[in-house]
């Protein structure tokens, strides 16, 4: 059954369709099942197919509305910034652009999907439990040493941990405690330090007084915090805090950060000799290629905040974070979580992760604007 409401301003169709929720849920389990076989990893592009279908369904129209869809502006900015630099194109620039488009295309179509989030989350949970049942070598070690080396779970590399993190925060905001606790347990089983930290920081933010949350949300504050993180990352890469990390954790900075400080250290001489990259940027994925050339093998950078600044420059960096936080106020903890995860990972190119984030924001946006009932279908 299809429930729709016609909008006069944009002729925008709002569709509430269980089949869509099932398809989205299936796309989310690609991160779990692709561990069993690489052939399943492509199901994560179901949102791309759905988006293309609805654009064609809507007579090849797309909608970019400041009022209704500003939450996708950060990625539109990245796409434009990547495209207007022909002299900085490289072998993987358009792969990343395709990934960006895959993450947002459904929200460019002249339809708005009111997804059943319980169906989607349920399928994600079932997919993960199926992985636990079928996979042969899954280990867990919750010792302090494993925590330091980020070896707590052999499932850490699974992107499902990010999705469980999003749903944990979302259900806590909705006060659906059972769903929130189930997802948090799965966050712990897929233990990834940055995800656990992101959930904790987001929940602490959620519990703060409204005035403090309004202050933190200010664009100037958000941008300064992220710039401080960039500076701190590069400062550590220069060798600072090495003695502190060894004395307190018994390992070097490279081991403690799973190689991330080493990556920063390798690219540091180049950016110090080419300080203009802080202003203009070096182009999408050129930092990744620089790191790979230093290592002698392909390697992702694992720090989207630093990568964003060095590849796109300070003006795109500011615009990205400005629009990232232009979302319904009560969902700010979800954006905080997204921002924290950017600090040590490559989530901007994880289609399922970005799509999940936008899906939660989009559902809330529809509910807030058109009062069609709860964003959660029972």
What pLDDT shows up at residue 256? 55
**Domain map (residue ranges) of the chain:** 3-217+318-370
For residues 163 and 192, the answer to whether their CB atoms sit within 8 Å is no
82-98 per-position pLDDT tens digit: 999 999 999 899 999 99
Q: How confident is the model at residue 257 (pLDDT cuts 50, 70, 90)?
A: low
Q: How confident is the model at residue 376 (pLDDT cuts 50, 70, 90)?
A: very low
Look at residues 356, 375, 309 and name the one whose alpha carbon lies nearest to residue 14: 375
| Residue of 351 and 190 predicted with greater confidence | 351
The three state secondary structure string of 311-375 is HHHHHHHHHHHHHHCCCCHHHHHHHHHHHHHHCCCCHHHCHHHHHHHHHHHHHHHHHHHHCCCCC
Mean pLDDT, range 231-252, rounded to an integer: 67
Residues 99, 305, 156, 353, Cα dihedral to 10°: -40
Q: Over 60: is that where the pLDDT of 254 sits?
A: no
- Number of C-beta neighbours around residue 208 at 10 A: 13
Residue labelled with tokens 């398809």: 23
Q: Over 60: is that where the pLDDT of 255 sits?
A: no
For residues 267 and 273, the answer to whether their CB atoms sit within 8 Å is no
Q: How confident is the model at residue 180 (pLDDT cuts 50, 70, 90)?
A: very high
Residue 151, exposed/middle/buried by CB under 10 A (0-12, 13-18, 19+)?
A: middle
């Amino acid at each position: 059954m299809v429930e729709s409401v016609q909008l006069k301003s944009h002729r925008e169709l709002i569709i509430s369709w269980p089949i869509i929720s099932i398809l989205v849920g299936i796309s989310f389990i690609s991160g779990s099942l692709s561990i069993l076989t690489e052939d399943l990893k492509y199901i994560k592009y179901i949102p791309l197919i759905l988006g293309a279908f609805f654009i064609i369904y809507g007579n090849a129209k797309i909608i970019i509305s400041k009022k209704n869809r500003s939450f996708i502006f950060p990625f539109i900015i990245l796409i434009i910034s990547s495209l207007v630099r022909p002299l900085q194109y490289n072998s993987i620039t358009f792969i990343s652009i395709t990934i960006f488009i895959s993450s947002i295309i459904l929200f460019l179509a002249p339809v708005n999907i009111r997804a059943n989030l319980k169906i989607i989350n349920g399928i994600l949970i079932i997919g993960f439990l199926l992985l636990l049942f079928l996979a042969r070598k899954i280990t867990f070690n919750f010792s302090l040493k494993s925590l330091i080396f980020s070896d707590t779970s052999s499932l850490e590399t699974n992107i499902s941990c990010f999705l469980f993190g999003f749903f944990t925060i979302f259900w806590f905001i909705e006060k659906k405690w059972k769903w929130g606790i189930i997802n948090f347990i799965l966050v712990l089983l897929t233990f990834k330090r940055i995800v656990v930290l992101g959930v904790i920081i987001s929940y602490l933010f959620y519990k703060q007084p409204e005035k403090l949350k309004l202050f933190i949300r200010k664009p100037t504050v958000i941008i300064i915090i992220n710039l401080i993180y960039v500076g701190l990352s590069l400062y550590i890469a220069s060798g600072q805090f090495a003695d502190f990390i060894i004395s307190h954790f018994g390992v070097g900075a490279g081991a403690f950060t799973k190689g991330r400080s080493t990556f920063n250290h390798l690219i540091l001489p180049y950016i110090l000799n080419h300080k203009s990259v802080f202003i203009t940027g070096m182009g999408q994925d050129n930092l990744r290629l620089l790191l790979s050339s230093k290592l002698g093998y392909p390697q992702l950078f694992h720090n989207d905040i630093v990568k964003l600044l060095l590849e796109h420059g300070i003006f795109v960096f500011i615009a990205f974070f400005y629009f990232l936080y232009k979302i319904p106020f009560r969902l700010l903890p979800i954006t905080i979580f997204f921002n924290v995860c950017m600090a040590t990972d490559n989530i901007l190119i994880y289609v399922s992760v970005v799509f999940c984030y936008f899906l939660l924001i989009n559902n809330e946006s529809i509910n807030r604007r058109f009062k069609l009932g709860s964003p959660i279908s029972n």
